[in-house]
Each structure stands twice: as structure tokens, then as C-alpha cells.
Amino acid sequence: MNSLTSYIDHFKKIYVAGEVRHLRRLETALERLRHLPVIYIDDKSEIPGVDMNSHTLFISGSKGETVGHCPTSRGHLCCNYITVDLYLGCILNCSYCIMKSYLNFAPITIYPNTEVAIKQIIEIAENNKDRTIRVGTGEVGDSLLLDPIFRLSEDFIRALSPFANIFLELKTKTHFVDHLLGLENKGNTVIGFSLNPEKLISRYEGIAGTLSERVQAARKIVEHGYLVSFHFDPLFLTGDWLHQYAQTISSLKDIPQDRIAWISLGTIRYTKELKQKMGSRDFLLEEFIPCRDGKYRYLQKTRCRMYRYIIEQIRTRWRSPIPVYLCMESPAVWKNVFGRLPREIAELSAIFKEAQGCLPYPASTSTSRADVKRFEQGRII
């Protein structure tokens, strides 16, 4: 059992930047972390080099936008997900974590001021009443890992629950849901569990919760009126992947289909930079090829085979159509796996509709010209 205490013990020091030090909720959170030294500073540049690591918690006001679009990927279909940065960075240490290649600030950062982000999401929802707005806090950190201490998700759940078109997703690899059970209005809050077979969790997902912990948490949260989502992402091709994933999907048998908001699938993918940081992981010995967005993926034929199999397992488990979508996949793969593009699939069209309003799409993706050239010239390395 991975307890919250064992995660908290990972931290050695807390730095609090001036602008948030008087928040009442911070007092409560710091009381829960009273064994840790707290240093008040004006700016993150004051954190000494020796503490620039994941053992440091940095609590601060955000310097920029915390609400944004999920970064699009060149040549791949985007699901128009809106992201909120609440908890930045992660201590779970999954070997494939993409954040390792793009977060350039090592301390785990918390933005306890939630008002601006909530206001912005409500504005988007009101401007898009005919669309489903999916918002998630798990893009740059685990939504629930530190939430029992800081309780930031509650603000979002309370404020967004009256909006029928907002689906707030709290994505996690933990089982820390107890603090959310007693909330009165849940609205369309979705607790998203990233899943993999137990064998792969223990091999690649650092100190994240076990599969059974996550599944039990999913059952519990459903009993308390929340929706759940499952993310089979990243999927790994291992010797016995067919059996492993079938078993994992089978472990979800008690979850009623009408409480599952969506299921996403995505095979393992990585950038060149991430590969440097992943070291010599055995999953890297499979055949990966560079794709249009510069990320390395399994061969298209292999990915299609994997998706088709997982979807078949899902359809066997739950007869009615649950929205299943692919994360960062190409139109070619969508067409092969589903026979259609997402906007042509009834249960997905609402999800994939682009929200209009105050959020600009990222100006560019992480794909470099060298990445594009490598793909077009058919060079593996």
C-alpha cells in the first residue's frame, strides 16, 4: 500500500512565495506538513541550488496563464482538452514520463490560487453552451497525489458542478480519493485513473499506486456519485500484452458502464530528449519509428493491432458504447481502428468539438524542423 505519508516523507523543505503566504488554506495545508521546514521567499530564484530538486515543494502564485489547451501534436488529432496547471511536477517517477523532457524547474510547484482559473473555465463554458468542455488538472502533474493536503480540487468541483457542459477531470495514478467523497455537489466531475497491468506498473510506474488500489478507488468514487474515466496510456507491447491488458480490463468489471465518462488509449511514445532521460529501459528495445510530430511510436500496423484488441476487450466488457478515444493519434490510425474520424463517431463528436472563446491554441507544437525532416526522409535516428 502506498500511503500518503510515504509520499509526504519524500519532501524535505517547503518554499512559499510571498504573494500566497496569507491564504488561509495554505495555513491548513502547512499544518498537515508541519514536520517540514517552511521558508518564505519573494521569488523562486531565491531557492538555493541545493534545494532545486523534487524533494522541495514550492507554493506560489502563478506568473502566467494556468488554463490552456492540451498541446497539439503535428499530424495527429487533438481532443480539444483544456488543461489547468495546479500541481506541476511529480514524484511518482514513472520511467516514461514526458514531463521529464519539458519541465525545467525541479521542485514540485503548487498554485493554490484557484479563482482566476475557475473564472476562465466558466467563461469558456458559457461561451460554448452547445459543446462539452473537458477540463483536466492532470496534464503537468498528478491531480490527486498532493490534493489530500492542499484540497485545491474541491474549489473546482464546487464551482464547476452547476455547469452541465463542463466535465472536470482529475487524473491520477494514486488512490487518494477519500477527501472528495463527502462533497455534496459533484456535477460532472470525472476521476480519471491511468491504468496499466500490475506487472507493468511495478516495472515502469515508480512509486505510483498499484492497480488494485486504483481500481478499488474507482469503485469507491463511483459509489459516491462521481463519474470515472480510464486511461490506458501508455500501452506497452510486451510478450504477453494480450493477456495482461485483457486481465486489467476485466478487473474493472464492477464499474457500471453509465458511470464511465470515457476511456482513452495511447501507445507509449517519446521524444528524442525523453529517450536520453529514460536510460536503458527494456521497452525501448521494441521497434519504434519517428512520426510526423517527432515522437517515436510503435509501427502504425502494430499500434492499430493493439488498439483494435483493447477496444474489442472494452466492448466485450461493457456492451453499450462508452466513448473510447485515441490520444495523439493520426487520422490514418483513427480510420483504421474505428473506420471513421472522431467527429463522425456519435459518442465522441461532442468531446472532439473545438471550444470557441478566450483560449488561444498553442502557437506551435514541440515538433522541430529536424523532427519533420527526419520523418520525411525516413531516417530512424
Cross-strand partners of 194 = 231
Cross-strand partners of 357 = none
Residue 329 CB, nearest approach to other proteins (Å): 11
**Secondary structure class of 168 (helix, strand, coil):** strand
Residue whose C-alpha cell reads 498541446 in the numeric block? 71
Instruction: Report cis status (omega within 30 of 0) of the bond before 234.
Output: yes
Residue 276 CB, nearest approach to other proteins (Å): 9
Q: Of the candidates 380, 196, 192, which has an alpha carbon nearest to the alpha carbon of residue 290?
A: 380
Q: Which is nearer to other proteins, 337 or 355 (CB)?
A: 337
Contact indicator for 325, 351 with CB cutoff of 8 Å = yes
Tell how strand 108-110 and strand 13-17 pair up. unpaired
Contact indicator for 82, 68 with CB cutoff of 8 Å = yes
Q: Which is nearer to other proteins, 37 or 339 (CB)?
A: 339
Q: Which is nearer to other proteins, 249 or 291 (CB)?
A: 291
Locate the DSSP E strands across 188-226. 190-194
Q: Which is nearer to other proteins, 94 or 304 (CB)?
A: 304
Residue 262 CB, nearest approach to other proteins (Å): 24
Residue 120 CB, nearest approach to other proteins (Å): 37
- End-to-end distance of the chain based on CA atoms, in angstroms? 41
Residue 296 CB, nearest approach to other proteins (Å): 10
Q: Which is nearer to other proteins, 100 or 186 (CB)?
A: 100
Q: Which is nearer to other proteins, 219 or 275 (CB)?
A: 275
Residue 341 CB, nearest approach to other proteins (Å): 11
Q: Which is nearer to other proteins, 307 or 325 (CB)?
A: 307
For residue 117, give the DSSP letter.
H
Cβ-Cβ contacts under 8 Å for 106 (sequence gap 6 or more): 52, 53, 54, 56, 89
Residue 109 CB, nearest approach to other proteins (Å): 22
Binding site for other proteins (CB under 8 A): 280, 282, 284-285, 287, 289-292, 297, 299-302, 304, 330-332, 335-336, 375-378, 380-381
Q: Which is nearer to other proteins, 45 or 377 (CB)?
A: 377
Tell me whether residue 263 is exposed, middle or buried, using C-beta atoms within 10 angstroms of its C-beta: 0 to 12, 13 to 18, 19 or more: buried
Residue 104 CB, nearest approach to other proteins (Å): 13
Q: Which three cell numbers stand for residue 231?
A: 486511461
**Separation between Cα atoms, residue 215 and residue 230, nearest integer Å:** 10
- Type of residue at 249: I
Q: Which is nearer to other proteins, 162 or 331 (CB)?
A: 331
Residue 237 CB, nearest approach to other proteins (Å): 11
Contact indicator for 304, 335 with CB cutoff of 8 Å = no
**Separation between Cα atoms, residue 56 and residue 86, nearest integer Å:** 16
Q: For residue 102, how far is the Cα from the chain centroid?
A: 15
